[in-house]
Chains A and B, each alone.
Chain A
Amino acid sequence: MHQLKHNPLLSRQSLRKGRVMFLLLIFVIVSGWCYVDGGIETGPYNLVYPANFGNRIQIPADNPTTKQGVYLGRMLFYETKLSANNKLSCSSCHQQDKAFTDGRAFSPGVDGVLTPRNSMSLVNLLWARRLFWDGRANGLEEQAVTPLTNPHEMGQALSISAQRLSQTANYPVLFKLVYGDEKITGDKIVKALSQFERTLISANSHYDQYLRGAYQPTPDELKGIELFNTAPQPEKGIRGANCSHCHGGPKTYMELFHNNGLDSLPKDSGIEKLTALATDRGRFKVPTLRNVALTAPYMHDGRFKTLDEVIDHYSEHIEQSPALSSFLRGESNEAGGKSLKLNSIEKKQLIAFLNMLTDSAFITNPAFSDPHILSTKNKKH
């Protein structure tokens, strides 16, 4: 022991190790400082959207959108430390190239158990008032808590997530930049996530371009638009698919909840679970049609793999039940008909229109992509 202590070779080694560690520490501090201070813009975030989307936007007074908040929210959206097994992030079920869905009927959580309902597309949430297939969350901040903490999703208490982030080099500094205080809390995590989610605006599809006079639709697309927006009146010879009753307007989104005749006896009773009202049986949120060509499979349980199957459902397979929404009763292109009865050409035209809702700028926008990829790129490839 005595000998070791005075071995000049060993002391030199430990000195060298110490120097290396010291230099590394300096490097980490400096790079961390540059990372936060050099690259992040601060100030109010300007949410840009077309005037025809309307200003009925939803931003809580206690969570104004800032550039630094959106930056942090994006980091957190792609952060696997928020999951119990360190493998899942929000982006696992909400992938940008799939318009923030995951291509599965149900999604596996940290314990491998599948979610009971299909992962919804995250788009144009700035206008969303009620979240989830049953609308049980009033606002994004309230919504985010469930997937983060549910044992069959990301499975980690917010307090633990906050603690884990506190132990990193960059997050305390980032939280200070956003909230003026290094202390990380669950509330701050969900607020930042919500700020980022509000920026996921899709408004540059061919349909948007058509609405502002910058795109000339094909004849099939035009016919599809007309069918989409028309209620059938067979006695007047007017054919239609009546889609805009629920998906109308420039956002193709109205916050409505309907029983759309998927089953006469639904396995999942939907909103009835919350209200205990028989008329709410099998009633679910009407999803947006933005980027619908990228968000298969469809419905709350992902039962339809293609858009053809979806349209066939509305055209021929509506199941009658006491809770079926009234606008789907007796709506038909045939006089006295029980179902919509679109012909095969009309179905193709409708799909031509639905494809117009794909917004390639949205699914490739670097502002929505994984910010961690730059730093982990070398490890991955």
Chain B
Amino acid sequence: MKKQLLIACIAFLSFTTIPFISQAQTIKISGEVSTPLTIDAAYLQKFTQTTVVRKDRDGKDHTYSGVILSEILKNAGVTLGPELKGENLTKYLLVEASDGYQVIFALAELDKSFTDRTIILADKVDGAPLAPADGPYRIIVQDEKKPARCIKQVTAMQVHFVK
């Protein structure tokens, strides 16, 4: 009986410690959204995968693949498409990385009715998962001259009104 209790205790402890040993990175989407989301790799697989080719620091073209950012935001109930007018045009997306780095995009920069430039949340580069120091998720902005907004290790996205 004691033995069984011990085994049960060990099993319970291992259950509780597993999440702390290896946690999968997620992205929290919050702010001016009707459905706050916490998304992970499996969630991203539900969307059509899109590729963007752009140069990295090595000066070479790389093919990044992932999901168009506005598609994910639409699922969170962000005012895009026909709703993106009036005061909604003063909304922005704040993207945060695990190292504390932050960048913003105006919602209009992400919307297909405003621009053909593709901005994706990538999880692969040249067919392979992103390197740990870059991933697992990175924003890739098509054709932007500087890579400064191609924010790496994305952990959170918040939609806010300009105050």
Q: Which residues of A contact B (CB under 8 A)?
A: 130, 135, 254-258, 271, 275-280, 283, 322-326, 329
Contact = CB atoms under 8 A, between A and B. Distances in A.
A279 B22 CA distance: 10
A276 B133 contact: no
A277 B131 CA distance: 14
Q: What does DSSP make chain A's interface, helix, strand, loop or mixed? A: loop
A257 B25 CA distance: 17
Contacts of A325: 99, 133
Contacts of A326: 131, 133-134, 152
Given A276-B21, A326-B152, 9 more contacts: A254-B100, A256-B100, A257-B98, A258-B99, A275-B98, A279-B25, A279-B153, A323-B132, A326-B133
Interface residues on B, range: 10 to 19
Contacts of A283: 98-99
Contacts of A256: 99-101
A257 B100 contact: yes
Nearest to B153: A279
B43 interface: no
Contact of A277 (B23, B100, B101): B23
Contacts of B101: 256
10 contacts: A130-B100, A254-B100, A256-B101, A258-B99, A276-B19, A276-B22, A277-B23, A279-B98, A323-B133, A326-B131
B15 interface: no
A276 B100 contact: no
Interface in B8-66: 19-23, 25
A275 B100 contact: no
B132 A257 contact: no
A326 B101 CA distance: 13
A277 B25 contact: yes
Q: Which of B23, B100, B101 has the most CB of A within 10 A?
A: B100
Interface in B121-150: 131-134
A271 B98 CA distance: 10
Nearest to B23: A276
Contacts of B100: 130, 135, 254-257
A102 B117 CA distance: 52
Nearest to A324: B133
Contacts of A323: 132-133
A279 B133 contact: yes
A257 B96 CA distance: 12
B129 to A, nearest CB: 12
A280 B22 CA distance: 11
A280 B25 CA distance: 11
Contacts of B23: 275-277
B133 to A, nearest CB: 4
A280 B98 contact: yes
Contacts of B152: 326
Contacts of B134: 326
A329 B132 CA distance: 12
Contacts of B133: 279, 322-326, 329
Contacts of A254: 100
A324 B132 CA distance: 9
A251 to B, nearest CB: 14
Nearest to A255: B100
A81 B53 CA distance: 62
Given A325-B133, A326-B131, A278 B98 contact: no
Nearest to A325: B133
Contacts of A275: 23, 98
Q: Which of B23, B99, B100, B101 has the most CB of A within 10 A?
A: B99
Nearest to A246: B99
Nearest to A283: B99
Nearest to B136: A279
